[in-house]
């Protein structure tokens, strides 16, 4: 029997919005039934086949589900009346049959939309989230999903800003604590606070429970490998080619001073021996010298339009990132590691650099940190010290040591306190 399924037609990648359709499948062929709804890519969740991050998501989800029921009912009715006829029909013929039977009056444009309170928390949450893109949009969507899991879509849709009291936040905190840790849950509260501030700025509300509700946090555990473990990772060769690709991605991230995944995937070319780009997180210019070891990996995975082809075979960055995490998890098991993510590459680079005597200021510059003064954008930093630090780290990890590793001569007199302090590098950014 013919089957149906929703899909968002994203073939024209250059367009901001895409048509939502129902696919009619018959004999391995398909025909599309348009629903007259246009959505941005982030407003469609293919796993649950539902509209998200849309100010009228509830209304449209009700509409498309009703439409699918109508279509499936007509197909079942046709099968009951004449199964042979249905079996002989093509997907296009079934689609045309459905078009002739469905009422044209019940189109999205002519359906009377229910009146909603424009100043509900959820309304402004969705409006605020729609302004975000990429990973940031995903994080806010995750918060929305947790709120829905707690209250349900309907009840959440009725919440006003005046309802978000300390007791409301504490109840949500209790709910979150059942499945995640303090720091993970803190992200959700920061997102809620951002939406409340956004509403205040738009003069929607003046109620602000976060004056008294404190977002809890815990000291983040260290995420760095000791030198022996790191060397073991670099010497490891995977049995499967697809696993080796993700391991090489981790190695390249480390060699490029713990570059973030989204930045590495977006690199276009090497200019005068360096990769230069705007950090996705801060939108600030940055430059890294490409050492010979990193160049070998880059040449191995040379991309057509991008510097490396890691992302080119995937639909989007998110799809690649999910597969990267799965691949590193497989390798983690092979090496019997506690964890293996690109964050560990970044933390490990910073920790080793500090161990080798690199100053905290140079490490901060290497990781793209520093002040956020507007004038900083116009300053062309001398990256010589950063280049030397990276070379020192790579020599130590890959070849067993550097000259500067020799212990310093003992000086007479009273020893300084904390002469070699252990660093908890600020590398998560």
* pLDDT tens-digit readout, 281-293: 767 788 999 999 9
Q: How far apart are CA 114 and CA 117, in angstroms?
A: 10
Asked if the model's pLDDT at residue 31 lies above 90, the reply is no
Q: How confident is the model at residue 259 (pLDDT cuts 50, 70, 90)?
A: very high
Comparing CA positions, the residue from 290, 271, 267 lying closest to residue 279 is 267
The whole-number pLDDT of residue 404 equals: 39
* Mean predicted confidence (pLDDT) in 299-310: 92
CA distances from 13 to 8, 16, 31, 150, 295 (A): 12, 8, 21, 35, 31
What's the CA gap between 320 and 316, in Å, rounded? 7
* 97 closest CA partner among 82, 108, 112, 117: 82
**CB crowding 270-295: b at 16 or more within 10 Å, else e:** eeeeebebebbeeeebbebbbbebbe
Mean pLDDT of the region 306-332:
87
Residue 201 pLDDT greater than 60, yes or no:
yes
pLDDT of residue 69: 81
Mean of all residue pLDDT scores within the chain: 81
pLDDT score at 371? 45
pLDDT at 382 (0 to 100): 65
Give the separation between CA 352 and CA 233, rounded to whole angstroms.
Answer: 15
Q: Is the pLDDT of residue 359 over 80?
A: yes
Mean pLDDT, residues 15-37 taken together: 80
Q: What is the dihedral of CA 139, 321, 285, 381, to 10 degrees?
A: 110
Contacting residues for 350 by C-beta, under 8 A, at least 6 apart? 224, 258, 363, 366, 367, 423, 425, 427
pLDDT for residue 167: 93
Q: 40-64 pLDDT, tens per residue? A: 888 888 888 888 888 778 888 888 8
**Interval 125-169: pLDDT, tens:** 999 988 887 678 888 998 999 999 999 988 999 999 999 999 999
| SS3 (DSSP) at 238 | coil
Q: Is the pLDDT of residue 200 over 60?
A: yes
Rounded CA-CA distance 110/103 in Å is 12
The closest of 273, 255, 301 to 395, measured between CA atoms, is: 255
Share of the chain above pLDDT 70, in %: 83
pLDDT of 116 reads 54
Average pLDDT over residues 219-230: 78
Q: Taking 70 as the threshold, does the pLDDT of residue 171 lie above it?
A: yes
Comparing 283 with 195, the larger pLDDT belongs to 195
**What span, in angstroms and rounded, lies between the C-alpha atoms of 21 and 36?**
8
CB 140 within 8 Å of CB 174: no
Q: Evaluate if residue 109 carries a pLDDT over 70.
A: no
């Amino acid at each position: 029997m013919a089957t149906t399924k929703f899909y968002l037609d994203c073939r024209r990648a250059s367009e901001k919005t895409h048509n939502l359709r129902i696919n009619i499948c018959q004999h391995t062929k398909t025909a599309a039934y348009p629903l007259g709804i246009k959505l941005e890519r982030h407003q469609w969740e293919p796993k649950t086949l539902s509209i998200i991050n849309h100010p009228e998501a509830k209304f449209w989800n009700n509409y498309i589900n009703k439409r699918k029921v109508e279509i499936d009912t007509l197909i079942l009715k046709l099968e009951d009346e004449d199964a042979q006829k249905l079996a002989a029909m093509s997907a296009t013929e079934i689609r045309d049959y459905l078009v002739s039977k469905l009422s044209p009056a019940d189109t999205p444009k002519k359906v009377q939309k229910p009146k909603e309170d424009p100043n509900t928390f959820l309304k402004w949450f969705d409006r605020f989230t729609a302004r975000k893109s990429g990973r940031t949009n995903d994080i806010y969507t995750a918060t929305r999903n947790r709120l829905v899991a707690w209250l349900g879509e309907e009840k959440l849709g009725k919440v006003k800003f005046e309802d978000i009291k300390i007791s409301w936040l504490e109840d949500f905190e209790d709910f979150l604590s059942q499945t995640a840790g303090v720091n993970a849950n803190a992200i959700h509260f920061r997102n809620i606070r951002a939406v409340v501030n956004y509403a205040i700025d738009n003069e929607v509300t003046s109620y602000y429970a976060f004056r008294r509700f404190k977002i809890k946090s815990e000291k983040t555990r260290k995420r760095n490998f000791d030198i022996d473990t790191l060397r073991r990772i670099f010497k490891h060769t995977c049995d499967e080619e697809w696993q080796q690709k993700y391991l090489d991605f981790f190695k390249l991230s480390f060699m490029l001073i713990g570059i973030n995944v989204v930045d590495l995937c977006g690199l276009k070319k090497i200019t005068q021996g360096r990769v230069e780009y705007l950090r996705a997180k801060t939108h600030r210019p940055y430059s890294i010298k490409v050492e010979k070891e990193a160049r070998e990996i880059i040449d191995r995975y040379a991309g057509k339009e991008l510097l490396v082809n890691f992302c080119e075979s995937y639909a989007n960055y998110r799809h690649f990132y999910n597969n990267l995490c799965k691949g590193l998890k497989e390798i983690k098991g092979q090496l019997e590691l506690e964890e293996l993510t690109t964050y560990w590459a970044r933390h490990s680079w910073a920790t080793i650099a500090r161990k080798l005597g690199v100053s905290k200021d140079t490490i901060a510059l290497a990781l793209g940190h520093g002040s956020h003064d507007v004038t900083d954008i116009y300053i062309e930093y001398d990256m010589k010290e950063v280049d030397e630090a990276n070379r020192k780290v790579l020599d130590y990890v890959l070849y067993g040591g550097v000259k500067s590793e020799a212990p310093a001569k003992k000086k007479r007199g009273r020893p300084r306190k904390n002469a070699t302090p252990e660093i908890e590098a600020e590398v998560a950014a």
